[in-house]
Structure 1
Amino acid sequence: MKRSLSILILLCSLAGWVSCGGGGQSDERPADSQMVAEHVDPSTKFPQQLVETDTLQIDRAFVDNAIQSAWETIALTDLAVQKATHASVHEIAQTMARYYRQLYASLLRQKQEQRKADSDSLKKFTDGSREALEKLSGAAFDRQWIEKMVTRNEAAISRYEAEAAAAKNKDIRKLADDALPVMKTHQQQLETCRTKLQ
């Protein structure tokens, strides 16, 4: 009798395990589990939902950071167009200013599509780079501007490469992919210009 009861319990346990998706026999979730997934509290999300939420937040953070960086680059290139004395510095500044205005507009469109929010609050420098450059003139300005832009552009390339590899949003991934060749060309031009100024 005990043996029959043990076998019956074992069979019932196996039947319950299989019906809950154990052993890879069924891809369907039970109705209770489905309801929980549809009405889940954000603090108790399933791992896949957490990954998707984190990835979307990373995309949004990238766009915010890229908008800020593009605005700063525009301001710095405009400053160089006004103050540069070396023809090479003036030329690369004009080229970068034109490109970054286009990139800035594209980034703002992405932000509006994501959040429908105004990003004017970002328009202030995150470091003192502009103020320091404004105090310089002539060859000193040219050299410091080039050094600053080489560093900024290297950092931007790294951020855009990371986003191009990890972006969940296909439009943001395309934006990053499209920007990278231009940024790499700018980097070569900046480094060539830096060599000329030495």
Structure 2
Amino acid sequence: MKQKLLLPALIAAIAFTSCNGDGASSNGSTDTTVSTTTTNSTDTGSTSTGPGTSNAGATTTTGTPLNEADQAFVRKAAMGGTMEVQAGQVAQQNGQHERVKAFASMMVNDHTNANNELKQLATSRGLMLTDSVDAKMQQHMTAMQKMQGKAFDKHYMDMMVNDHSKTIADFEKAASGANDPDLKAWAAKMLPALKMHKDSATAINKAIK
């Protein structure tokens, strides 16, 4: 009689041990996945739900990491965009001609939006961007802050014509040759606005001579 009672209990104990073993294996696998995702992604925060979405945490990697050429373009474009915003803010304060100030306002708005889009794209590929410029650009910004009136207007508009010519060349190259399809599409999308900026800068530059 005792043997009959012990047999079901023994089977239940074996089954219980087997289930716990599977659970431990599953949890171990899940923990490894989380660890790998955290290490390879940019953050441990919430996941982005698309362009324009703002989350309290950072954005997890959702695409293939950018190759070296694409990363170089992204960093250069981000720094250039930051410079455009900072220079535009200075121009709004130090500029004299109303067309210069209006152009500067457009630069701040357009490049702030472009910078935000680029930052989100880069973050989704595991590349973090900063809102700072290099030492050379910072020295230029400091020098511009000391300029006033017509001298500032001329310097700023000359700068805008030259910078946008170089930027357009970089974006045309990325729009045709970037490896990442989303980055390629973003560069192509930005080109019409950049060309419009250059045309406006050229016209204003001639008008204030």
TM-score (norm 2): 0.65
Equivalent position SS for 1:126 = helix
Unaligned runs of 5+ in 1: 1-54
Aligned to 1:21: none
Aligned to 1:148: 159
The aligned runs of 1:22-171 (5 Å cut-off) are 56-117=67-128, 119-120=129-130, 122-127=132-137, 128-171=139-182
Give the alignment partner of residue 191 of structure 1, picking from 187, 194, 202: 202
Question: Cα deviations across residues 133-163 of structure 1 (Å, max 9, x unaligned)?
Answer: 1111011000001011111111110100011
Is the 8 Å Cα contact of residues 63 and 110 (structure 1) preserved in structure 2? no
Between the aligned partners of 1:140 and 1:172, the Cα distance in structure 2 is 38
Equivalent position SS for 1:136 = coil
In the alignment of these two chains, the number of paired residues is 143
Between the aligned partners of 1:88 and 1:132, the Cα distance in structure 2 is 22
Partner AA of 1:175 in structure 2: W
Partner AA of 1:151 in structure 2: N
Unaligned runs of 5+ in 2: 1-65
RMSD: 1.5
Identity %: 21
Aligned to 2:193: 182
Q: Which has the higher helix share?
A: 1
Between the aligned partners of 2:133 and 2:83, the Cα distance in structure 1 is 8
Between the aligned partners of 1:144 and 1:172, the Cα distance in structure 2 is 32
Shift, 1:126, TM fit:
3.4
TM-score (norm 1): 0.68
Question: Cα deviations across residues 98-149 of structure 1 (Å, max 9, x unaligned)?
Answer: 10000000110121012253x2274445333212211110110000010111
Moved more, 120-129 or 131-140: 120-129
Question: Cα deviations across residues 53-91 of structure 1 (Å, max 9, x unaligned)?
Answer: xx8211111111111110111000111111111011011
Between the aligned partners of 2:140 and 2:176, the Cα distance in structure 1 is 30
